[in-house]
Chains A and B, each alone.
Chain A
Amino acid sequence: MTEHTPHPDLAPPASAVGFVGWLRSNLFSSPWNTVLSLFSIYILYLAIPPIISWAFLESTWIGDTREACADTAGACWVFVKVRMDQFMYGFYPESEYWRINLAFGLLIVLGIPLFIKRFQHKGKLAAFILVFYPIIAFQLFSGGNFGLEHVETSRWGGLSLTLVLAGVGIVASLPLGVVLALGRRSQMPIVKSVCVVFIEFWRGVPLITVLFMSSVMLPLFLPEGTNFDKLLRAMIGIALFQSAYMAEVVRGGLAAIPKGQYEAAEALGLSYWKSMGLIILPQALKLVIPGIVNTFIALFKDTTLVLIIGLFDLLAIIQQAFADPDWLGFSIEGYVFAASIFWIFCFGMSRYSMALEKKLHTGHAR
């Protein structure tokens, strides 16, 4: 009888691991790859240093007037600095800025426990935020009660308006999208056709048309004297429009859940809504997190379109500032600033979705 001695584990060759190994396999694995790598490095060399020098090294940050930037070759961030309040708060009265700050601060404070692992009452807190926070925030923004000065929605603007539009759009479009997706897969012909028509209608028209219709056409059909807030109409338009996209994303997730999951839920005696809420949707939504966040990001950026109906979101208010005769010629700084703000929020959402996916991953796929 021969005895089997297991072969000992050896360390891999040095050229296959570590930094050298990484370079070898990723940048210089073949002649063609080497050429491409060197070319890309050259392009980066051409592009990056001028950008850094324009934005940071040669830029001006200090001062209050355009004279401060008279002899700089780089960016004049003074323009952005001077206009910062307006970019953040729009035409909101300066003495009332604290109300907007308080509203967003409150949301952050309320939201923090949701990210603390040990916090027990996440569901209750989330429900509280969803139900009561909008009321509180609206009171703060709009005023009119509790001795707060009333501020017309037409004076709201800047980043705070962008966040309000996006926040309302996101919070409203997800549940609406879920309901539409379920409806579209329903066995009931009427429910199904209503959902199909709704989704296909909203997906078939451009958002600009929706906003334009809501602000210009809708008042024509409403009885004389009914005044329906323009911002509210824009919010409803955005929410309905994005919910149609959301519905299709969610439907993709629902279709990916194996039939066995539906059957197991049914066999245990769960009703339709319970099996959807407890079994199917948690899995389906988890599956389409990238698609959902994609839609959120699109929604966030699409809020800039409200400028065509005369609402001054972040981008609109920056563009409006270009027309200031004191600050002509600083549009690049303005656009770069707008782009960075949008990028920070969108990138944040994207990273959060990745973290969420990782957290919700439970062992192997089915």
Chain B
Amino acid sequence: MSESENASGKMQVSDDVTIELRGVHKWYGQFHVLKDINLNVHRGERIVICGPSGSGKSTMIRCINRLEEHQQGRIIVDGTELTDDVKHIDQVRREVGMVFQHFNLFPHLTVLENCCLAPIWVRKMPRREAEAAAMKYLEKVKIPEQAKKYPGQLSGGQQQRVAIARSLCMNPNIMLFDEPTSALDPEMIKEVLDTMIELAESGMTMLCVTHEMGFAKTVANRVIFMDGGEIIEENEPNEFFNNPRSDRTKLFLSQILQH
């Protein structure tokens, strides 16, 4: 991707805040995982979240679609506040897609059925329409020919692309990626990253927990570094990689960029 495209991509970011985390705390039993997280995500923004394991980065994005419950503070997604109210949770989950480290495709359903399931049962879309839409997204992730296969018959990279297509079938406004390439063989990482870059170019709001720093440099508007349950530093990628402010960030970067 050239520099100018990147810049024009970044211009799509609007002023309205689509995800707002205010003073969010979370505990697992006695363990304080998230400590006073404050974050505003604007529409069309691409955020990469990195940090050592156990730093709370996955937990944070999993709070955004309530796979994890926060105990203090407020999380507002697309104008809906996440509380115990199941209606609000369902509302948010319909608008927020998620891609997991281990794909989590449904092994008893074909690729096409995986993609159509939620549109049919949650959005009440007629089957034919849902299938047409699913094929469109499968083409977008470049595996329409695998539609009739079962997930177990696909490679890791293909499975992850199906997982992305499955999320897109719900027409989400926001996509969350939880270490989407960490479980993949090296040769399959690129095909998934290419799909994600394409998605980023289409203006999707994205939050990605990933250690792919190349990806961060190419598509992110902002990189967030977390450690010990706190946001240590956030900056636009160039500044983040070239002039990290905190020592903790410097140490982390020196460790992952050494090779």
A contacts, CB < 8 Å to B:
258, 260-261, 263-271, 274, 278-279, 282-283, 286, 360, 362-366
Which residue of chain B lies nearest to A269 when distances are taken between CB atoms in the complex?
Answer: B93
Per-residue CB proximity of B95-127 to A under 8 Å, as 1/0? 011101010111110000000011001100000
- Let me know if B73 is at the binding interface, CB within 8 A: no
- Let me know if B215 is at the binding interface, CB within 8 A: no
- B153 neighbours in A (Cβ, 8 Å): 363-364
Min C-beta distance of B168 to chain A, whole Å: 11
- B241 neighbours in A (Cβ, 8 Å): none
The list of the 3 closest CB pairs from A to B, nearest first, reads A363-B152, A264-B104, A260-B104
Q: Roughly how many angstroms separate A363 CA and B114 CA in the complex, as a whole number?
A: 15
Contact of A278 among B98, B117, B166 (CB under 8 A): B117
Say whether A360 contacts B94, CB under 8 Å.
Answer: no
Contact of A274 among B100, B121, B151, B167 (CB under 8 A): B121
B contacts, CB < 8 Å to A:
65, 67, 90, 93-94, 96-98, 100, 102, 104-108, 117-118, 121-122, 149-153, 166-167, 170
Say whether B107 contacts A362, CB under 8 Å.
Answer: yes
Q: A363-B107, A363-B153 are in contact. Are A264 and B100 (CB under 8 A)?
A: yes
Q: Roughly how many angstroms separate A310 CA and B49 CA in the complex, as a whole number?
A: 72
Which residue of chain B lies nearest to A360 when distances are taken between CB atoms in the complex?
Answer: B108
Say whether B90 contacts A271, CB under 8 Å.
Answer: yes
- A282 neighbours in B (Cβ, 8 Å): 108
Q: Roughly how many angstroms separate A106 CA and B246 CA in the complex, as a whole number?
A: 78
Beyond A260-B104, A269-B94, 5 additional contacts (C-beta under 8 Å) are A269-B90, A269-B93, A363-B149, A363-B150, A363-B152
- B122 neighbours in A (Cβ, 8 Å): 268-270, 274
Q: Roughly how many angstroms separate A263 CA and B97 CA in the complex, as a whole number?
A: 12
Say whether B90 contacts A283, CB under 8 Å.
Answer: no
Say whether B65 contacts A267, CB under 8 Å.
Answer: yes
Give the total number of A-B pairs whose CB atoms are below 8 A apart: 73
- A270 neighbours in B (Cβ, 8 Å): 117-118, 121-122
* Interface of chain A, main secondary structure: helix
Q: Roughly how many angstroms separate A265 CA and B93 CA in the complex, as a whole number?
A: 10
Q: Roughly how many angstroms separate A363 CA and B152 CA in the complex, as a whole number?
A: 5
Q: Roughly how many angstroms separate A274 CA and B123 CA in the complex, as a whole number?
A: 13
Say whether B108 contacts A366, CB under 8 Å.
Answer: no
- B100 neighbours in A (Cβ, 8 Å): 260, 263-264, 267
Contact of B152 among A263, A264, A360, A364 (CB under 8 A): A364
Say whether A362 contacts B152, CB under 8 Å.
Answer: yes
Contact of B108 among A266, A267, A268, A362 (CB under 8 A): A362
- A271 neighbours in B (Cβ, 8 Å): 90
Q: Roughly how many angstroms separate A271 CA and B118 CA in the complex, as a whole number?
A: 10
Q: A263-B67, A278-B121, A360-B108 are in contact. Are A268 and B166 (CB under 8 A)?
A: yes
What are 7 A-to-B residue pairs whose CB atoms are below 8 Å?
Answer: A261-B104, A263-B100, A264-B105, A268-B93, A268-B167, A283-B107, A363-B152
Q: Roughly how many angstroms separate A365 CA and B122 CA in the complex, as a whole number?
A: 27
Q: Roughly how many angstroms separate A347 CA and B150 CA in the complex, as a whole number?
A: 31
Q: Roughly how many angstroms separate A286 CA and B149 CA in the complex, as a whole number?
A: 19
Min C-beta distance of A315 to chain B, whole Å: 39
Contact of A366 among B97, B152, B166 (CB under 8 A): B152
- B102 neighbours in A (Cβ, 8 Å): 258, 260
Q: A362-B150, A362-B152 are in contact. Are A266 and B67 (CB under 8 A)?
A: yes
- A362 neighbours in B (Cβ, 8 Å): 107-108, 150, 152
Which residue of chain A lies nearest to B152 when distances are taken between CB atoms in the complex?
Answer: A363
Min C-beta distance of A97 to chain B, whole Å: 44
Q: Roughly how many angstroms separate A278 CA and B121 CA in the complex, as a whole number?
A: 9
Q: A263-B67, A269-B93, A270-B118 are in contact. Are A365 and B152 (CB under 8 A)?
A: yes
- A261 neighbours in B (Cβ, 8 Å): 104, 106
Min C-beta distance of A277 to chain B, whole Å: 9
Say whether A268 contacts B152, CB under 8 Å.
Answer: no
Min C-beta distance of B173 to chain A, whole Å: 13
Q: Roughly how many angstroms separate A359 CA and B100 CA in the complex, as a whole number?
A: 29
Min C-beta distance of B102 to chain A, whole Å: 5
Say whether B151 contacts A267, CB under 8 Å.
Answer: no
Q: Roughly how many angstroms separate A330 CA and B144 CA in the complex, as a whole number?
A: 69
